[in-house]
Amino acid sequence: MERQKLILTDADGVLFDWVAGFNAWMEGKGWNRLPDTEYHYTIEKWYNITHDHAMDLVSTFNSSAAIGFLKPYLDSVKYIRKLHNEFGYNFVVITAMGHDPYAIELRRRNCEDVFGHIFQDVLVVDLLASKEEILKSYEPAIWIEDKPSNAEAGIKAGHRTYLFEHDHNGHMSTSKDITRVHTWKEVYESIVVEEKGIELIPAVVY
């Protein structure tokens, strides 16, 4: 039997532009992000609030209707569809968003509305929780994440792992077995190399 082609993927910061959605939601509630904070990931610095307050806001946002209307992250739609249509990959979302059943259903609908019917499942863990146990339950596959600790968990579980780099995680060291990317085009091209057996010819240095 041919091995199932499966890509396990995080949602926020990988499939969806969570930051843009959160900031728009905050603006609707009368909060304005402070200027010159584009290189700070922590929400408390964006809005000059405490860590506990920031986590409460994130939890509220993730359980709100807004979580079902996030925009796709960069070029995700184009290359996810290409991976599905050209090579037969299906997808499983593993997301840390809490367990509100209505929010989870909205996330499922958001995935299908934006990317199509290519997701076998949407699995959730608590906000900030590890995804290690879920990752270990799958045979070796492709795993795409933007949190370094969860990327490392993917390596331990035997998955071919990609880490989406953002301003908040680019400085963090990770295993050499993790492939760092900035776009889905880079993921797609890396997979194409394997699928088509392409040998990359190293550049000649004179």
Q: At what angle do helices 18-28 and 51-62 cross, to 10 degrees?
A: 100
pLDDT over 50 at 206, yes or no = no
> Nearest Cα to 127, choosing from 24, 15, 11, 9?
11
What percentage of the chain carries pLDDT values higher than 70?
89
Asked whether residue 205 carries a pLDDT value surpassing 50, the answer given is no
pTM of the model: 0.88
CA pair distance 52, 56, nearest whole angstrom: 6
> What's the average model confidence in pLDDT over 14-31?
96
Q: How confident is residue 1, by pLDDT bands cut at 50, 70 and 90?
A: very low
For residue range 136-188, list pLDDT tens digits in order.
999 999 999 999 999 999 999 999 999 999 876 656 667 789 999 999 999 99
The domain ranges of the chain are: 1-206
| Of 121-130, 154-163, 197-206, the least confident | 197-206
Mean residue pLDDT across the chain: 90
87 Rama sector, left if φ>0, alpha if ψ -120 to 50, beta otherwise: alpha
Query: What number does CATH give the domain 1-206?
Result: 3.40.50.1000
Tokens for 3? 């091995």
Look at residue 9 in the predicted model and tell me its pLDDT.
Answer: 98
Q: How confident is the model at residue 198 (pLDDT cuts 50, 70, 90)?
A: low
